Amino acid sequence: MHELSICQSLLKEVARAIANQSEVQSKAVVTAVDIALGPLSGVDPGQLLRAFELARWGTLAETAVLRIEPVPVTVWCAECETESTVPPNALVCSMCGTWRVSLRSGADLSLRSVTLSDPDGPAPKEGTCPEEKADVY
């Protein structure tokens, strides 16, 4: 659905993060982008990976891989003082069953880190086709 537009904002945030760095860093090539993604964000990881393949062309992250850390849905029951890991459509305490719980994690949709190639190291191989790397992930 809108995974392509999510990718575009992801790439904007990557560019922003690099622009904030020193000049040496800003010349570096992005090799990996790590994000955290929970099911309650509404974003599908498979579609996001496919969209990233397209969206990264012509950007600083053209040859980067996208790594998605899945975040489980967890809820906190104040009554039982218990955290439960639950399915996205059953936000209830696993001890007492109440739905009066608060969401601890699972709606995450955030950029965690950007890995850059060593600007002093060997230059990244030119013309690497991202499609070749694609099936690694």
Partner 1 sequence: MCTECGCPFPPGMVKITTAAQKAVNLVAPPHTLELHTSLMRANVETAAHNRAHFAWADVLVINLMSAPGSGKTSLLEATIEALGNRVRIGVIEGDLETENDAARIRAKGVPAVQITTGQACHLDATMIHGALHQLDLSQIDLLFIENVGNLVCPAGFDLGQDANVVLLSVTEGDDKPSKYPVMFRAADLVLLTKADLAPHMDDFSLDRATSNIRRLANDAPVHAVSARRPNSLTQGLTPGLTPWLDWLEGELDRRSFPMEDTP
* Binding footprint of partner 1 on the chain (CB under 8 A): 1-2, 5-6, 9-10, 12-13, 16-18, 20-21, 25, 28, 35, 40-43, 75, 88-92, 99-103, 109-119
Rounded Cα distance, 41 and 109, in Å? 6
Q: Which is nearer to Zn ion, 19 or 95 (CB)?
A: 95
Decide if 4 contacts 48 (C-beta within 8 A).
Answer: no
Minimal distance in Å, beta carbon 91 to Zn ion? Answer: 12
Q: 């998605």: which residue's tokens? A: 68
**What burial class does residue 31 get, using C-beta atoms within 10 Å of its C-beta: 0-12 exposed, 13-18 middle, 19+ buried?**
middle
29 binds Zn ion (CB under 5 A): no
List the interface residues with Zn ion, window 92-111 (CB under 5 A): 93, 95-96
Residue by residue, DSSP assigns 90-131 as ----TTT--S--EEEES--EEEEEEEE--TTSPPPPTT--HH
Q: Which is nearer to Zn ion, 42 or 128 (CB)?
A: 42
Q: Which is nearer to partner 1, 123 or 129 (CB)?
A: 123
Minimal distance in Å, beta carbon 107 to partner 1? Answer: 8
Minimal distance in Å, beta carbon 135 to partner 1? Answer: 24
Rounded Cα distance, 103 and 83, in Å? 10
Q: Which is nearer to partner 1, 2 or 133 (CB)?
A: 2
Decide if 25 contacts 18 (C-beta within 8 A).
Answer: yes
Residues found near Zn ion in the complex (CB under 5 A):
1-2, 77, 79-80, 93, 95-96
